[in-house]
Amino acid sequence: MQESVDKTAPTKPQLVLITGLSGSGKSTVGKCFEDLGYYCVDNLPLPLLRSFLADPLVEGHPRIAIVTDVRAPGFAGEFPRLFDEIDRRLVDPTLLFLEASDEILVRRFSETRRPHPLGGERPVIEGIRAERELMTEVRARADRLFDSSEWSIHEMRAHVYQDFGGESSRPRGLEVSLVSFGYKHGIPLSTDLLFDVRFLPNPHFVPGLREQTGQDEQVQEFLDGKAEFQDVVDRFADLLLYLLPKYAGELRSYLSVGIGCTGGRHRSVATVERLQARLEAAGWKARASHRDLER
């Protein structure tokens, strides 16, 4: 005999615990959850977190997100035990762990000029490595892992919406992220499609163009004078305009496309600029970024 289901039984609140490495984007992700209607708490001390989890039913907020990390004393050792003690009969927990590569984290701390929480008087990289080791056990318990190394704020938001927003909360439409880069600086992480334009004539070796970039008119005029440049833009654009409806049909909210040349300052930049214009003219949301433009 089939058991009857009590449809009047209350749904357990969703609890997302957001943690990870310093500089990986936890606060940004917390704001994304807030935009989704979650009741959000940032940097809750562990003793208060324990009390909060003992009675997580916040009136009117069936979805809760809490950001907590090594800023709380004793976090790495205490949090795994606290997480294991959560009463799954009262709440449906998900542990989201954010991380990024050492190089990216060093760059972010350098840009913000903020010290690493574990750095003290040591170099930032030593604080990053110490935190990564401390967080090994916490990371192993994660239900979701986000590597934000090459994500923009828009891409991070899209990931949160896709994994935690539900169908009705996902961003509308597919957004294309076009990223220029230099192969000598490494391939961008989390790239869906990758194109190499190193076969194009290189403005780097043309007098007067080396110090300019693919955003400058003279560089673009030089490339426009080469039949292969317009040909490759046409072919890349045709391929993307064929593929984008396919990706959109899978309810994807973003697509990352990398365009690489040797140094990431001339050919890839100009190609990305032209592709962005072509995609936008066809009605797609396209965003251009140039990773190595200032190198």
Which pLDDT does position 222 carry in this prediction?
A: 96
Which pLDDT does position 196 carry in this prediction?
A: 98
How confident is residue 6, by pLDDT bands cut at 50, 70 and 90? Answer: very low
- For the stretch 138-167, pLDDT in tens is 999 999 999 999 888 878 888 888 888 865
The residues spanned by each domain of the chain are 14-169, 175-290
- For the stretch 245-284, pLDDT in tens is 988 877 677 899 999 999 999 999 999 999 999 999 999 9
Q: Give kind and range of the element (H or E) at residue 275.
A: helix 267-281
Compute and round to an integer the Cα radius of gyration of the chain. Answer: 23
> Coil, strand or helix: which one is 169?
helix
- For the stretch 211-234, pLDDT in tens is 999 999 999 999 999 999 999 999
Which pLDDT does position 5 carry in this prediction?
A: 43
Which pLDDT does position 58 carry in this prediction?
A: 60
Handedness of CA 286, 210, 182, 159 (dihedral sign): negative
Could you say which architecture CATH assigns to the domain 14-169?
A: 3-Layer(aba) Sandwich (3.40)
- Provide CB contacts within 8 A for 91, sequence distance 6+: 12, 13, 14, 15, 53, 56, 64
